[in-house]
Amino acid sequence: MNALAVVGEWMMLNNVSIGDIILNALLALFGLAIVVSLWKLHSKNGRYQNFNLVNLITNKDGFADGAKCFEVGVFLLMGWGFVVMITSKSIQEWYVVLFVTTFVLRGAYGAHLRSRNAPDQPGTTTTTQIMSKTTEV
C-alpha cells in the first residue's frame, strides 16, 4: 500500500477535507514567515538595529518582567484562540470584544502608571540597587 492511499484512507476515516489541510498548511507557512521575519529583525541588520525580541519580556535592566511576560503570553494565547475560532468558522462576538478590550485596557493602565511618575529634575542623581543615573542640567 503506498503512502498516498494511506493518507487518503486516514482523511476519509477522520472526515478531513482537502480544504482543511490546505488552510492549516497556509497558516503554518504564515506563522513560519512571521517567526523568520522577527528573527531577521532581531539579528540587528539594517535600520532595525535597536529591535530586540528579548525586550518583549524583560525590563530595562535585562531581568524578566512579570507583567511583560504575562502580556506576551496572553497575546499569544488569545491570538491563537482567535485563529482557531476563525478557521473553524465559530467566531463569537464576545471573544472579539474581549480580545480588543484586554489590550486596550492594558495599554491604558500602563500609560496611567507612567504618567504618575514625575520626570527627573535636572541636576538630580537617582540611585537604585542596580544603577546610578544623573540627569543633565
Task: Determine the pLDDT at residue 137.
Answer: 53
Residue 76 burial (C-beta neighbours within 10 Å; 0-12, 13-18, 19+):
exposed
Task: Determine the pLDDT at residue 136.
Answer: 59
Are 78 and 105 in the same domain?
A: yes
Task: Determine the pLDDT at residue 2.
Answer: 67
Residue 27 burial (C-beta neighbours within 10 Å; 0-12, 13-18, 19+):
middle
Are 47 and 61 in the same domain?
A: no
Residue 62 falls within a domain, yes or no? Answer: yes
For 61-81, the pLDDT digits (tens) are 878 887 788 888 888 888 888
Task: Determine the pLDDT at residue 78.
Answer: 84
Q: What is the DSSP letter of 47?
A: T
CA 116/CA 125 separation, integer angstroms = 19
Domain containing 104 equals 55-111
Are 69 and 101 in the same domain?
A: yes
Task: Determine the pLDDT at residue 8.
Answer: 65
Q: What is the DSSP letter of 120?
A: P
Task: Determine the pLDDT at residue 120.
Answer: 59
Helices marked H in 14-90 — which ranges? 18-42, 66-87
CA 93/CA 85 separation, integer angstroms = 11
The low-confidence residues of the chain, meaning pLDDT below 50, are none
Are 70 and 44 in the same domain?
A: no
Residue 137 falls within a domain, yes or no? Answer: no
Residue 28 falls within a domain, yes or no? Answer: yes
Number of domains present in the structure of the chain = 2
CA 78/CA 104 separation, integer angstroms = 14
Task: Determine the pLDDT at residue 7.
Answer: 61
Residue 116 falls within a domain, yes or no? Answer: no
pTM above 0.75, yes or no: no
